[in-house]
Amino acid sequence: MRIAIVTGASSGIGREFVNQIPGFYKHLDEIWVTARRGERLEEVKQEVEGRTGVYVRIFAGDLEKDLVYKQILNRLENQSPDIRMLVNAAGFGKIGSSAHIAKEDAAVQLRMIDVNCRSLTRMTFLVLPYMSKGSRILNISSGASFCPQPGFTVYAATKAYVTSFSRGLYEEMKEEGIVVTAVCPGPVDTEFFDVSGTTHSKIKESVMVPACDVVRTALLDSRMKKPLSVHGALMKGARIAGKLVPEEILFSAMDKWIR
């Protein structure tokens, strides 16, 4: 049985991957989806099954807890499927200056580390034994991973981990024929900013892109066996700037960008 697994599948980039993966894999048997909001996953299931005929299996739950991993592992052990693709799209951001974070806000920042880094790594290690030559892993990182971001410090640091982890895993998996791609978009038109707490600046609004475009680029880049997927000229320029421009200048520019 050939399957794909998508975390964070209830909305945004994760949901868009569920929509597009059936067109990427013509002979996929099932897509396994997980997220906290089970009712949203039911909507995704009905939408995708009705349009593509690919069965969508739901694992509703919190990736910060053990239950979802146990349920997926149980299904993996019982069925020994051929996992063709894993998309780690679960994650969130929360803006906040570290010097002014209250106790409750600090807990949210720590949760960010758990979801964006620990959960992604745990799911990857859970799934890898069931992948084979030609399988793909797409880890949703961010353009924020290209350099530190004052005011968005923890989020940017978690995404730097995702990009670094993905690039290292890409090299490790070469001999196995498994392609690992870090997806690093800029601002995407999703619910992300509703959670992050930042208001949309005019700059961000002017460069925001649809999730469908980011996902289409990511799937094509994965097919081309690229270790990094960066959608659009602006983010490609930001990646270069992160390497070449002095940090003081970058920090000044990002202060206006974030706010």
The residues assigned a catalytic role are 155
**In the beta sheet, which residues pair with residue 139?**
88, 182
Asked whether 20 and 89 are in contact (CB, 8 A), the reply is: no
Which residue in 126, 96, 144 sits closest to 250, CA to CA? 144
* Integer Cα distance of 43 and 191 in angstroms: 16
Q: Do 193 and 152 contact (CB within 8 A), yes or no?
A: no
Residue 242, amino acid: G
| Contact criterion met (CB below 8 Å) for 15 and 33 | no
Q: Is 179 helix (H, G, I), strand (E, B) or coil?
A: strand
